[in-house]
Amino acid sequence: MEETTVPVFVGGVPKTARCVEYTEDDGSVRLLTVTEGKKKEVAEVYAADGVVRVIGCGGYYNPWSGTVEHVVDVQGARGAYALLVSVREVLGLCRIVRIKRLN
Protein backbone atom coordinates (compact mmCIF):
# COMPACT_ATOMS: atom_id res chain seq x y z
CA MET A 1 0.00 0.00 0.00
CA GLU A 2 1.19 3.49 -0.77
CA GLU A 3 1.85 5.73 2.21
CA THR A 4 1.64 9.49 2.45
CA THR A 5 2.96 11.74 5.21
CA VAL A 6 0.67 14.36 6.75
CA PRO A 7 1.15 16.90 9.56
CA VAL A 8 -0.73 16.00 12.77
CA PHE A 9 -1.11 17.18 16.35
CA VAL A 10 -0.65 14.59 19.10
CA GLY A 11 -1.31 15.96 22.58
CA GLY A 12 -0.97 19.47 21.13
CA VAL A 13 2.50 18.71 19.76
CA PRO A 14 3.03 19.01 15.99
CA LYS A 15 4.32 15.80 14.38
CA THR A 16 4.02 13.91 11.11
CA ALA A 17 2.17 10.64 10.53
CA ARG A 18 2.53 8.01 7.83
CA CYS A 19 -0.95 7.36 6.50
CA VAL A 20 -2.67 5.02 4.08
CA GLU A 21 -5.74 6.13 2.13
CA TYR A 22 -8.96 4.10 2.20
CA THR A 23 -11.55 5.13 -0.40
CA GLU A 24 -15.19 4.58 0.50
CA ASP A 25 -17.94 3.58 -1.96
CA ASP A 26 -19.00 7.21 -2.34
CA GLY A 27 -15.46 8.29 -3.26
CA SER A 28 -14.60 9.97 0.04
CA VAL A 29 -11.15 9.21 1.41
CA ARG A 30 -10.14 8.28 4.95
CA LEU A 31 -6.54 8.53 6.15
CA LEU A 32 -5.55 5.67 8.46
CA THR A 33 -2.38 5.38 10.51
CA VAL A 34 -0.90 3.36 13.38
CA THR A 35 -0.25 5.12 16.68
CA GLU A 36 3.17 5.16 18.30
CA GLY A 37 3.94 3.60 21.66
CA LYS A 38 3.20 0.18 23.10
CA LYS A 39 -0.41 -0.20 21.96
CA LYS A 40 0.06 0.61 18.25
CA GLU A 41 -3.64 1.14 17.56
CA VAL A 42 -5.27 2.01 14.26
CA ALA A 43 -6.32 5.67 14.08
CA GLU A 44 -7.97 8.00 11.60
CA VAL A 45 -6.28 11.28 10.70
CA TYR A 46 -8.43 14.30 9.91
CA ALA A 47 -6.22 16.09 7.39
CA ALA A 48 -8.07 19.42 7.64
CA ASP A 49 -6.95 20.04 11.23
CA GLY A 50 -4.38 17.28 11.88
CA VAL A 51 -6.39 15.57 14.61
CA VAL A 52 -5.66 11.87 15.19
CA ARG A 53 -8.53 9.75 16.60
CA VAL A 54 -8.07 6.10 17.59
CA ILE A 55 -10.70 3.91 15.90
CA GLY A 56 -9.28 0.50 16.73
CA CYS A 57 -9.33 -1.29 20.04
CA GLY A 58 -6.45 -3.71 20.00
CA GLY A 59 -5.82 -6.59 17.68
CA TYR A 60 -4.58 -10.14 17.42
CA TYR A 61 -1.36 -11.54 16.00
CA ASN A 62 -1.67 -13.73 12.91
CA PRO A 63 1.42 -15.97 12.86
CA TRP A 64 0.80 -17.14 9.28
CA SER A 65 0.97 -13.65 7.80
CA GLY A 66 3.19 -12.03 10.45
CA THR A 67 0.68 -9.22 10.92
CA VAL A 68 -1.47 -7.85 13.71
CA GLU A 69 -5.11 -7.78 12.60
CA HIS A 70 -7.32 -4.92 13.82
CA VAL A 71 -11.10 -4.87 13.34
CA VAL A 72 -12.28 -1.26 13.38
CA ASP A 73 -15.78 0.18 13.21
CA VAL A 74 -16.23 3.12 10.86
CA GLN A 75 -19.18 5.45 10.34
CA GLY A 76 -19.35 6.23 6.64
CA ALA A 77 -21.66 8.52 4.67
CA ARG A 78 -23.96 5.59 3.84
CA GLY A 79 -23.84 3.84 7.21
CA ALA A 80 -21.56 1.98 9.58
CA TYR A 81 -19.22 -0.79 8.50
CA ALA A 82 -16.17 -2.71 9.73
CA LEU A 83 -12.66 -2.79 8.32
CA LEU A 84 -9.97 -5.42 8.85
CA VAL A 85 -6.69 -3.51 8.99
CA SER A 86 -3.48 -5.58 8.80
CA VAL A 87 -0.39 -4.04 10.42
CA ARG A 88 3.16 -5.35 10.08
CA GLU A 89 6.31 -4.13 11.78
CA VAL A 90 8.98 -3.33 9.19
CA LEU A 91 12.40 -2.08 10.31
CA GLY A 92 11.01 -1.07 13.70
CA LEU A 93 8.09 0.89 12.21
CA CYS A 94 4.51 -0.36 12.18
CA ARG A 95 2.86 -0.04 8.78
CA ILE A 96 -0.59 -0.76 7.43
CA VAL A 97 -0.15 -3.41 4.74
CA ARG A 98 -3.79 -4.26 3.91
CA ILE A 99 -7.31 -2.92 4.45
CA LYS A 100 -10.33 -5.08 3.79
CA ARG A 101 -13.98 -4.11 4.21
CA LEU A 102 -15.83 -6.82 6.15
CA ASN A 103 -19.46 -5.81 5.55
Residue 41's pLDDT is 92
Domain count, the chain: 1
Which tens digit of pLDDT belongs to each residue from 52-97? 999 977 789 999 999 999 999 998 888 889 999 999 988 888 999 9
pTM recorded for the entire structure = 0.89
Average pLDDT, the chain: 90
What pLDDT sits at residue 40?
A: 86
73 vs 5, 9, 64, 66, 80, CA distance in Å?
23, 23, 24, 23, 7
